Structure 1
Amino acid sequence: MADIFDVIADGTRREILQLLRERSAAGEQGTSVSHIVQELGVSQPTVSKHLKVLREAHLVSVREEGQHRFYSLARGPLEEVDDWLVPFLVDEVDTAAVAAQISLELPEPAVRAAEGLGRVAAQAKHAVSGALKRLGG
């Protein structure tokens, strides 16, 4: 399987993923190849080639109905990208240094839970910031 970063490096594949994300957010249960072709203005063979790469990287799932195929975004593999990107988008806090400063020794499970909560908060902050940018705010 190709490295996910190589897969999403291609602009057409990113456009396909974006379209599938938007259609999913609108409540669609899959998007046909013909709709993708129409929306992106590229040839059907080109879309099919990119969908094959996305399918092999497990970034999309496909549902067949007769002769038609409907594609949906599979968000799971994008978590690898998110895990890599988030530290670049938020300030890292050294939890051990903070704990030492306030003379508090946290048990390891509590440290892991706090780090997880911090990651979720950073992701939410990034999502809200991105939404505000798109809205022009």
Structure 2
Amino acid sequence: MADIFDVIADATRRDILGVLKDRHAEEGHSSGEISVSEIVSTLELSQPTVSKHLKVLRDAGLVSVREEGQHRYYRLDSEPLEAVEDWIIPFVATDLDTVGFGVDLADETREFASTVGKVFADTSHRVTTAVERVTPRKWRRD
């Protein structure tokens, strides 16, 4: 199984997760399900592209699927994102007493986590910039 950070590093997959989150939060959609065609329409992406990314999300346990005939209905499963949340909290909770939460990290661990975070952010920025340079304007979602 792919590392959760690798899975959510892709902007298209994050967009799909956002659509699923929005559907889950909408009134009148108690199941939180959405069809592949609705995702395609919302994000203005091709069906094969959406299906490819949904497979990655499904393999990572971030979405569940219900089949009905030839139609597939997806729903967000946010439980795997708890690992991401647990990793991020020490970075964003600077004003909280982290010792009180049992997150007393050694200096080496803090330095390592800081370095990984900076490298991840830098790499993400570089990839996004490179994709924007090579993606034709008509395909961008500006």
TM-score for the superposition, normalised by structure 1: 0.68
Q: Distance in 2 between matches of 1:66 and 1:44?
A: 17
Give the equivalent residue in structure 2 for 1:115. Answer: 101
Give the equivalent residue in structure 1 for 2:81. Answer: 78
Provide, for residues 52-74 of structure 1, a one-character-per-residue CA deviation record: whole Å limited to 9, x for no partner: 00000000000111111100000
From the CA coordinates, give the structure whose radius of gyration is larger.
Answer: 1
Q: Distance in 2 between matches of 1:90 and 1:76?
A: 21
Provide, for residues 71-96 of structure 1, a one-character-per-residue CA deviation record: whole Å limited to 9, x for no partner: 0000100000000111111125254x
Q: Does 1:46 align with 2:32?
A: no
The percentage of aligned residue pairs carrying the same residue is: 61
Segments of structure 1 that go 5 or more residues without pairing to the other structure are 96-113, 117-137
Q: Distance in 1 between matches of 2:98 and 2:22?
A: 36
1:115 to partner: Cα distance? 2.7
Taking the TM superposition and a 5 Å limit, the aligned residue runs for 1:22-101 are: 22-27=22-27, 28=29, 29=31, 30-91=33-94, 92-93=96-97, 95=99
TM-score for the superposition, normalised by structure 2: 0.65
* Moved beyond 6 Å, runs of 4+: none
Give the equivalent residue in structure 1 for 2:19. Answer: 19
